[in-house]
Structure 1
Amino acid sequence: MQHEAHAAHAHHHHEAAAGSSWATAVQATLHCLTGCAIGEVLGMVVGTAFGWGNTPTLVLAIVLAFFFGYALTLRGVLRAGVGLRAGVRVALAADTLSIAVMELVDNGVIVLWPGAMDAGLGDALFWGALVISLAIAFVLTTPVNKWMIGRGKGHAVVHQYHH
Structure 2
Amino acid sequence: MSLDQIQAAIDTWTGLGIWLALVAVSLAWTLYDLRTRNSHIASIMQLVWILTVLYSGPIGVLIYRYSGRRQIATDNLSRKGFRSVAHCYSGCGIGEILGVIITVGIFAMSTAWAAGITFALAYIFGFALNLGPMMQAGTPFLEAFKGAFFAETISITVMESVAINVDLYLGGDATMGDALFWSSLYISLSLGLFAAWPANLLLIHFGLKGGMADPRDTEAAASGHCH
2:86 matched to 1:30?
yes
Q: Which has the higher helix share?
A: 1
2:162 matched to 1:92?
no
1:7 aligns with none
Q: Is the 8 A contact 1:20 1:149 kept in 2?
A: no
Question: What is the identity, as a one-letter code, of the residue corresponding to 2:144?
Answer: G
Structure 1: runs of 5+ lacking an equivalent: 1-18
2:183 aligns with 128
Following superposition of structure 1 onto structure 2, how do residues 1-163 of structure 1 map, counting pairs within 5 Å?
21-47=77-103, 48-113=105-170, 116-153=171-208, 155-156=209-210, 162=225
Query: TM-score, normalising length from structure 1?
Result: 0.78
Hey, what's the Cα distance between the residues in 1 that align with 2:224 and 2:86? 18
Structure 2: runs of 5+ lacking an equivalent: 1-74, 214-222
Distance 1:161 1:31, change over 3 A: closer
4+ aligned runs moved over 4 Å, structure 1 = 157-161
Hey, what's the Cα distance between the residues in 2 that align with 1:97 and 1:68? 15
Q: Is the 8 A contact 2:96 2:119 kept in 1?
A: yes
Hey, what's the Cα distance between the residues in 2 that align with 1:104 and 1:31? 17
3-state SS in 2 of match to 1:147: helix
Query: TM-score, normalising length from structure 2?
Result: 0.57
Question: What is the identity, as a one-letter code, of the residue corresponding to 2:85?
Answer: T
Identical aligned pairs, as a percentage? 32
| Residues 99-129 of structure 1: per-residue CA shift (max 9 Å, x gap) | 000011112212332xx14211121111111
Q: C-alpha displacement at 1:54, in angstroms?
A: 2.2
Question: What is the identity, as a one-letter code, of the residue corresponding to 2:184?
Answer: A
Question: What is the identity, as a one-letter code, of the residue corresponding to 2:80?
Answer: T
What's the Cα RMSD here? 2.1
Hey, what's the Cα distance between the residues in 2 that align with 1:71 and 1:80? 14
How many residue pairs get aligned? The number is: 142
Q: Is the 8 A contact 2:83 2:211 kept in 1?
A: no
| Residues 76-97 of structure 1: per-residue CA shift (max 9 Å, x gap) | 1111111111121122133111
Hey, what's the Cα distance between the residues in 2 that align with 1:77 and 1:118? 40
Hey, what's the Cα distance between the residues in 2 that align with 1:94 and 1:76? 15
Q: C-alpha displacement at 1:158, in angstroms?
A: 7.0
Q: C-alpha displacement at 1:55, in angstroms?
A: 1.9
Hey, what's the Cα distance between the residues in 2 that align with 1:104 and 1:98? 10
